[in-house]
Amino acid sequence: MVKNPRETPGVGAIRPLNPPVPIVVREDEHHRLETVTLGRNRLRVENTEDQWEIDEEWWRIRPTSRAYYDVLLEDGQTLTIFRDAVSGKWYQQRYE
């Protein structure tokens, strides 16, 4: 009889790709994006190039509700970030 391995489930065998990465974003009093901190660098947001929202999985205890922004930073790079409407936290994530 081969032992049932249920007691040591292989949680790590399937890993989501492109998971959200927590990031620090500063907004002004009108919720306009001011700065994004990448590593040790705090970079000014020059422009918000695109903005969209997703509301999914309403049937789960913790639904997914996010406001995404494509922002142009002062060093010229474009970054996709989102604000989790449930937790209020900011994340960086590729969105293609």
**Contact set with another protein (CB under 8 A):** 1-6, 9-20, 54, 56-57, 60, 64, 93-96
Residue 81: CB minimum distance to another protein, A: 12
Residue 28: CB minimum distance to another protein, A: 27
Nearer to another protein, 20 or 38 (CB): 20
Residue 55: CB minimum distance to another protein, A: 9
The Cα 66–Cα 43 span in angstroms is 22
Buried b (16+ CB within 10 A) or exposed e, 11-48: eeeeeeeeebeebebeeeeeeebebbeeeeeebebeee
Residue 4: CB minimum distance to another protein, A: 4
Nearer to another protein, 57 or 75 (CB): 57
Contact residues for 21 (Cβ-Cβ < 8 A; gap 6+): 91, 92, 93
Nearer to another protein, 30 or 58 (CB): 58
Pairing of strands 24-27, 21-22: unpaired
